[in-house]
Structures are given as C-alpha cells and as structure tokens.
C-alpha cells in the first residue's frame, strides 16, 4: 500500500500509470465491441478510460483556474466533459488519452533537447584531490579554495580552473573550446575545470572553483541564452495569451449559431496552440545547445535570429585574421652558384626569397636553414619580440647552441661570437657600420619586403652577408578558407578594419582574399564604418578579439568575440563568443544561426498550416474530436522533431 | 528572515502553461518570496526562507503541480 502511495505521489509514475490504464481500458472497450458484447460495456469502458486519463488533465485545469490561467488542459477538460454529456464516449476517451500521451512524448523529447546543458553540467567532476601539507584529501570540487594544490591523475577530469604547477601533459579542452585536438600543457599553463587530462600526472594551483570556473560561466551563459526569448517566441506567447480565450469564444459563438455541441467541443480540442507555442523555443534551445557543444556561445534567441540575417562582416586584423604576434614570413638567401667567367671561377650569388607560409609541408633550402641557424644563435641571448619569432622558427629544425659572447646595440642589432664565428643580426645601417657590404640586388629584395609591411632583419657571418629575414604578424592559416566560406554562405560585403599601416594591411588582405581595407584607423573610426555599413542597409557582424574592439562589437548588429576561453569580458559582452581562436567557427556560427532561423520559420509554418487545415476541416464537418486531437498532437511532435534536427546540424 | 536562492530543475515542462502552474503554486507557498520558472531550460529559481520553506517543501510543491524536480548543482 505504501509503495502504491509512493508511486501515486511521484508525478512521473502517476502520469505513466494513468496513461497505461486508460490505454488498456480503451483496448478492452474495442475488444468488447469486436466480440459483440453488450453495447453498454463499450461505453462504460470508454467512460472509465476518460475518467482515468482525464483525472490528471482536470487536476491541471483546476490548478490553472485557481491561479487564474486559462490553459490548454481546461479546453481539453471542457471538451471531454461535454463529450460525455452528449454521449460520444469514444471521442472523449480518445481525446483525453491522446492528450496525455502527447504531453508525455513532448516532455520526453523536450528533455532530450535540454541534454546539451546536462552534458555540460556533467563535464565538471564532483570531487578534487587536494594536497594539504603533503597529505592527499578528496573534497567536493566546489569547496576547493584559491591557491590550493590539486593533483590531477592521467585520464581524469580537471576539477578547477588553475595553473599547472608541475608536470607536463596533453589536455582535451573540447568541453570548453570545442577543439577535438588535445593541447600540450606544462608548468605555468592555464587549465580549465571540465577538461580532460590525457596522459601526464599534473599538480594544479587552483585559481577558481565551483560556480566561478569558466565551465560554470559557460553553462550559466548557455542557460541564460536559452531562457532569453527570441522575438518570434515573445510575439507568439503574446498571441497565445489571447488565443486560448479566443478559441473558447469562437466555440461558444459556433454553438449559438449551429446548436451543434459536438462541433463546438471539437473546436476547443483543435484550437490548442501547442505546436505554435513550442515552435520557436524548441529550435532556439537546440540551436544554442548544439553551438555550445562546438565552442560557440550565442547570447540568446534574439542574437541567433539576428545572426541568421547577416549580410556584411567587418573584421579586425591583428589577433583575428593574424596570430597577433610576430613570426618569420620570408627568408632571403644567396645560392652559391659558381659561374665561369673569362676562364676563371667566380662565385655568383643569386638572391632567392622563400615564403614560409607552407613551411609545415616542405623543408627549407639548406641555405635558408643555415641563415636561420646563425641568426637564432645570436638572438638566443636577446629578449626582443623579433628574436622570439626567429628562435621559434629555427627551433623547428633542432637545438640552438648558446653564443660564447653577446652584445646588443639598442635599436640597431646584435653581435655574437660562437667559437671562431662572428655573427651580426640587425638593420642594414648596423651591418654597414660593421663593414659588411650589401649588394644592390639584395637591397631591392629588402625594399620589396618592406613595402609589403615586413620588418627586415639582415644576417651576416664572419663579414659576409648570408641574407635577410622578413618578419611580420602572421596570417592565420585558416583565414583565406574562412573568407571564401563566408562568401559561399551569402555574405555580400567583407571589410578589414585595422589600425596598422596600409602596406601591412593590404598584404594580409591580398593573402586572405579581402577586397575592402580600412587601414590606419582608430577604434572610433571602426564604429563609424560599421554605422555607415548599417546605413547602407547591411546587417553587420563585427569580429574582434573582445576587449579593444568593444565599441565596434557593441555597435554592430552582432558582435563576435574570438578566443573567449578564460576572458570573462568577452563571454559577458559579446553577442557570440568563440571559445577557441579557431577562425572556421565564424562561418560555422553564422551557418548554425541561419539554419536555426530557417527551422523556426518551418515550425511556425507547420503549426499554422495544421491549425488552419483543422479549423477548415471542423467547419466542413470532416474532422471530429478524436481525429482532431490526433492531428493536433502529431503536429506538436512534428515541430519538436523538426527542432531536434538542429542537434546534428 | 534569511532568504536563500535555490535552483531546481525539472525535465518535464512541455508547455508554457506548466510554467504558470508551477510558478503560481510556488509563489503562493509560505516562506517563498519569489519563484521564477524558465520553460526553455526547465530551470526553477526560488528565493525562499529555508526555515519556513525547505528545499524538500519546494520539490513537494512542484510535485503537487504535477511535475518532478531535482536540486541543481549550478
């Protein structure tokens, strides 16, 4: 008895039990009818089925009335009572059973659409192993305090945000950034709660725990975004508030005109606005959830709808299209061709320029490798940002020895000695001072690189010029692909906005395929350009790295911030925040938004067509209560299932 | 009176009228100062005096409205 009480108290099991009993009673009724039992038995069984399924519906209708809401349950309850009253027992049973079944199926599928959020919540481990005075203690993850030392074993999830104190490992950060490829981490690297430690044992100094972690903020953001209603949803909900009383009115008027109670009751049943009300939220929840799984945080339904209409894009250059730090772009070197002139042998140095944009695929010519090697020895003692670029490039080919002696001439260059070799790296004037001659053909190459916006560093060894290195902020490898993808997706206008000099900006624009360049401008000019684009009728998206582009991001119809993981400002302020610095997420975000917008429209159309067709069917006398309820419930399921397609898109 | 905020989650909200029911019932519960139910996410935010309306009581009110709910970790 206690068990039964418990079962009845649990809302889910109670609904399921009522549904099963009601279904069995209906089946028994039809069986009795088939085997020619007493005709009254059919009606009695149908009446029992109506009362069983109707119990839950009447309960909710009553609760609604008590709270002064007219809800769908009230319509169904009136229709079923009316059905019993006029003796259409089968219709009443079918209506209540189908409504309860529909509600149960809707709740089940709706719960699936909310799964992304649950998956994100489940990413965070519940406990953390903290090291306290040499002792290990397992405590709830949210109780970890800032500064505590946490041990993360290989294969386990990181419980807090923090910095690696010791150990090296690779970490799967897909929970935060959506990037499937693990990232290498060593002492000093930042790690996030919810990411997975793949192979090494690491100790992490906690900086944030529980609700303060990046993951928790993402979850909250996604949730807020899903809660925030899209303009279409707000419109439909306002409409629905008038719609239900409107249907009751229509039903009364129809009855007064026709004296046909069944027609009036059927109108109540088919008038439920279920599919329409659910059409927008279902697409928005699924669209935002799916984007979050890919590391794209969309602030809400409104932004999703706006992003779906974008026609123009303005991009920041530094840090967005480029890496935002200097890198080696070109190497000028001499090939040692030997020319035979006038019977004697003479070295004939031919100048070659090699671009490193595809260095990963091909190895450098030997002379180029050598030049980088000597330059990096001298630079290894320097702390100049350009030195870092040269060393990073040289390290791809192997170890770099330390120089024996080193001297830096501020703003000019550096001189280093390794064994018998003297190395000079710096500007042309510096090398000239060191009595190293620079031929006209290399000067020409240097001028051409400078015109492209490169910083050129010359390299000499033992009084002989080896060549030069062109350094600039490197374009991200994906930039041209991203631009062509955006054009494919129907973006009509793409403009680059940058404070950099025109030659540098144009070099990047040419490489990426952008034709509109606004160079040498201030942050407020970026704003004006976006306003101008909007005045010309474009729906504009601004893409930047979150902080220095803030005004332009705010002015644009949609602001997309790059590389937002760990930066609260970007997560909080951008309309769309990309957790990883992955350019391909931009067309992906716009594609998902467009797809979601299309899905919303499809759902509204499905809902409206169903209601109109049913209404026409009822007026024509070809749709009755049970059939009307079945079609109505099917339309709700169609809308939910259509929305759920966004989970996989 | 101490007020605390408890977040519950329900997986069973399938229509906006469910929201109205739960919200009204919670708001009429003694000890609850404000309750907000979000249909899209199934998140139920309740500001309440834990001495007069315990977490169990809140779950019971939601259950009485016809839905199951759990306490949320975030």
- Given phi > 0 = left and psi -120 to 50 = alpha, else beta, which region is A342? left
Q: Is B15 on the interface with A (CB under 8 A)?
A: yes
Residue A338: pLDDT over 60: no
For A616, residues 6+ apart whose C-beta sits below 8 A from its C-beta are: none
Q: Is A478 a catalytic residue?
A: no
Confidence (pLDDT) at A567:
61
Q: Which of B21, B40, B74 is nearest residue A219 as measured by Cβ atoms?
A: B74
Contact B40 A229 (CB under 8 A): yes
> How much is the average pLDDT of A468-493?
89
Confidence (pLDDT) at A269:
83
| Residue A564: count of CB within 10 angstroms of its CB | 30
∠ Cα B33 B34 B37 (to 5°): 150
Taking Cα atoms as reference points, which of A125, A176, A173, A177 lies closest to residue A152?
Answer: A125
Taking Cα atoms as reference points, which of A13, A205, A219 lies closest to residue A116?
Answer: A219
| Residue A355, token pair as written in the block | 């671009």
Residue A365: pLDDT over 80: no
Chain A contact set for B65 (CB, 8 A): 63
Residue that wins the pLDDT comparison between A5 and A628: A628
CB pairs under 8 A between A and B: 91
Chain B contact set for A219 (CB, 8 A): 74
Determine the distance from the C-alpha atom of residue A239 to the mean position of all C-alpha atoms in its chain, rounded to a whole number: 31
Q: CA-CA distance, A297 to A314, in Å (whole number)?
A: 19
Tell me the C-alpha to C-alpha distance, in Å, between residue A498 and each of A513, A560, B68.
Answer: 16, 16, 54
Average pLDDT of the residues of chain A: 84
Q: Is B66 on the interface with A (CB under 8 A)?
A: yes
Q: CA-CA distance, A183 to A198, in Å (whole number)?
A: 10
> How much is the average pLDDT of A428-434?
86
Share of chain A above pLDDT 90, in %: 21
Determine the distance from the C-alpha atom of residue A210 to the mean position of all C-alpha atoms in its chain, rounded to a whole number: 22
Q: Which of B20, B25, B41 is nearest residue A117 as measured by Cβ atoms?
A: B41
Confidence (pLDDT) at A546:
55
Nearest-10 crossing angle of helices A385-395, A366-379: 130
Taking Cα atoms as reference points, which of A41, A45, A23, A46 lies closest to residue A97?
Answer: A23
Residue A24: pLDDT over 90: yes
Chain B contact set for A289 (CB, 8 A): none
Taking Cα atoms as reference points, which of A597, A99, A615 lies closest to residue B15?
Answer: A99
Q: Are strands A344-355 and A202-208 parallel, antiparallel or unpaired?
A: unpaired
Confidence (pLDDT) at A341:
47
Q: What are B70's strand-pairing partners?
A: B9
Q: In the structure, what pLDDT confidence band is assigned to residue A357 with cuts at 50, 70 and 90?
A: low
Tell me the C-alpha to C-alpha distance, in Å, between residue A443 and each of A439, A503, A525, A637.
Answer: 6, 18, 36, 72
Q: Which of B15, B63, B65 is nearest residue A63 as measured by Cβ atoms?
A: B65
Q: In the structure, what pLDDT confidence band is assigned to residue A332 with cuts at 50, 70 and 90?
A: confident
Taking Cα atoms as reference points, which of A266, A331, A175 lies closest to residue A627?
Answer: A266
Chain B contact set for A110 (CB, 8 A): 11, 13-14, 42
Residue A273: pLDDT over 80: no
Taking Cα atoms as reference points, which of A436, A435, A429, A432 lies closest to residue A466?
Answer: A436
Q: CA-CA distance, A279 to A107, in Å (whole number)?
A: 14
Confidence (pLDDT) at A299:
84
Residue A608: pLDDT over 60: yes
Q: How many residues does chain B have?
A: 74
For A101, residues 6+ apart whose C-beta sits below 8 A from its C-beta are: A19, A23, A633
Mutate to test the interface with A, among B14, B22, B65 (most CBs of A within 10 A): B14
pLDDT in tens, A186-200: 888 899 998 899 888
Residue A564: pLDDT over 70: no
Residue B49: pLDDT over 90: yes
Mutate to test the interface with B, among A62, A67, A287 (most CBs of B within 10 A): A67
pLDDT in tens, A436-449: 888 887 888 888 88
Confidence (pLDDT) at A554:
81
> How much is the average pLDDT of A386-413?
84
Residue environment code for A353-367, b if the CB has 16+ CB neighbours within 10 A, otherwise e: bbebeeeeeeebeeb
Confidence (pLDDT) at A606:
93
DSSP annotation of A242 reads: H
User: Which residue in this structure is represented by tokens 């009443």?
Assistant: A92
Confidence (pLDDT) at B20:
81
Confidence (pLDDT) at A549:
73
Indicate the pTM of the whole model. Answer: 0.75
Contact B16 A240 (CB under 8 A): yes
Q: Is A12 on the interface with B (CB under 8 A)?
A: yes
| Residue B1: count of CB within 10 angstroms of its CB | 8
Sheet holding A464-475, edge to edge: A344-355, A322-341, A464-475, A455-461, A421-426, A413-418, A405-409
Exposed, middle or buried by CB within 10 Å (0-12, 13-18, 19+), for A554?
Answer: middle
Of A316, A473, A500, A582, the active-site residue reads A316
Q: Are strands A312-316 and A493-497 parallel, antiparallel or unpaired?
A: parallel
The SS3 assignment for A333 reads strand
pLDDT in tens, A518-527: 988 877 788 8
Distance from the Cα of B21 to chain A's closest Cα (Å) equals: 6
For A531, residues 6+ apart whose C-beta sits below 8 A from its C-beta are: A555
Which chain B residue has the Cα nearest residue A275? B15
């Amino acid at each position: 008895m206690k068990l039964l009480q418990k079962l009845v108290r649990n809302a889910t099991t109670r609904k399921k039990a009522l549904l099963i009993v009601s279904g069995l009673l209906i089946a028994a009724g039809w069986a009795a009818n088939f085997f020619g039992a007493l005709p009254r038995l059919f009606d009695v069984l149908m009446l029992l089925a109506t009362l069983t399924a109707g119990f839950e519906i009447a309960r909710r209708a009553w609760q609604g009335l008590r709270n002064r809401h007219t809800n769908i349950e009230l319509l169904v309850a009136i229709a079923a009572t009316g059905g019993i009253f006029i003796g259409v027992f089968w219709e009443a049973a079918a209506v209540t059973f189908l409504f309860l079944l529909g509600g149960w199926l809707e709740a089940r599928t709706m719960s699936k659409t909310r799964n992304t959020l649950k998956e994100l919540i489940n990413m965070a481990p519940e406990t953390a192993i903290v090291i306290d005075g040499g002792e290990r203690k397992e405590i709830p993850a949210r109780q970890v305090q800032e500064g505590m030392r946490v041990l993360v074993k290989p294969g386990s999830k990181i419980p807090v945000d923090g910095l690696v104190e010791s150990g090296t490992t690779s970490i799967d950060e897909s929970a935060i950034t959506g990037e499937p490829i693990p990232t290498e981490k060593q002492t000093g690297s930042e790690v996030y709660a919810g990411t997975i430690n793949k192979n090494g044992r690491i100790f992490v100094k906690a900086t944030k725990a529980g609700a303060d972690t990046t993951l928790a903020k993402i979850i909250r953001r996604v949730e807020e975004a899903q809660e925030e209603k899209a303009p279409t949803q707000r419109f439909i909900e306002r409409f629905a508030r008038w719609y239900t009383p409107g249907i009751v009115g229509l039903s009364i008027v129809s009855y007064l005109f026709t004296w046909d109670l069944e027609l009036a009751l059927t109108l109540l049943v088919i008038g439920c606005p279920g599919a329409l009300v659910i059409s927008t939220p279902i697409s928005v929840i699924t669209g935002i959830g799916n984007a979050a799984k890919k590391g794209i945080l969309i602030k809400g339904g409104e932004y999703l709808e706006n992003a779906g209409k974008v026609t123009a894009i303005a991009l920041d250059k530094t840090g967005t299209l480029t890496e935002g730090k200097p890198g080696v772009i070109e190497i000028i070197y001499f090939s040692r061709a030997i020319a035979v002139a006038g019977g004697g042998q003479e070295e004939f140095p031919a100048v070659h320029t090699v671009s490193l944009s595809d260095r990963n695929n091909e190895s450098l010519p030997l002379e180029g490798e050598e030049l980088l090697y000597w330059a990096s020895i001298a630079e290894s003692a320097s702390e100049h940002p350009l030195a870092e670029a040269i060393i990073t490039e040289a390290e791809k080919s192997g170890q770099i020895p330390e120089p024996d002696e080193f001297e830096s001439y501020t703003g000019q260059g550096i001189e280093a000695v390794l064994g018998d070799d003297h190395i000079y790296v710096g500007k042309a004037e510096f090398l000239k001072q060191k009595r190293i001659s620079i031929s006209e053909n290399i000067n020409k190459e240097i001028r051409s690189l400078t015109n492209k916006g490169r910083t050129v560093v010359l390299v000499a060894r033992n009084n002989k010029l080896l060549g030069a290195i062109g350094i600039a902020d490197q374009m991200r490898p994906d930039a041209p692909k991203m631009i062509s993808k955006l054009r494919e997706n129907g973006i009509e206008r793409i403009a680059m906005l940058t404070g950099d000099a025109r030659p540098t900006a144009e070099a990047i624009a040419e490489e990426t395929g952008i034709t509109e360049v606004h160079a040498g401008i201030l942050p407020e000019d970026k704003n004006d350009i976006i306003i101008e684009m909007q005045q010309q009728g474009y729906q504009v998206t601004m893409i930047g790295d979150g902080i220095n582009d803030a005004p332009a991001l705010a002015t644009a119809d949609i602001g997309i911030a790059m590389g937002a993981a760990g930066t609260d400002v970007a997560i909080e302020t951008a309309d769309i925040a990309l957790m990883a610095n992955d350019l391909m997420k931009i067309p992906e975000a716009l594609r998902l938004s467009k797809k979601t917008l299309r899905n919303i429209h499809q759902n509204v159309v499905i809902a409206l067509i169903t209601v109109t067709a049913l209404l026409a069917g009822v007026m024509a006398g070809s749709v009755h209560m049970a059939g009307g309820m079945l079609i109505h419930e099917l339309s709700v399921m169609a809308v939910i299932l259509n929305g759920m397609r966004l989970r996989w898109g | 009176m101490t007020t605390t905020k408890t977040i519950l989650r329900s997986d069973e909200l399938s229509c906006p009228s469910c929201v109205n029911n739960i919200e009204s019932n919670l708001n009429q519960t003694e000890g609850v100062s404000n309750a907000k139910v979000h249909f899209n996410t199934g998140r139920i935010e309740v500001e309440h005096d834990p001495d007069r309306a315990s977490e169990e009581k809140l779950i019971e009110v939601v259950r009485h409205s016809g839905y199951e709910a759990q306490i949320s970790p975030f």
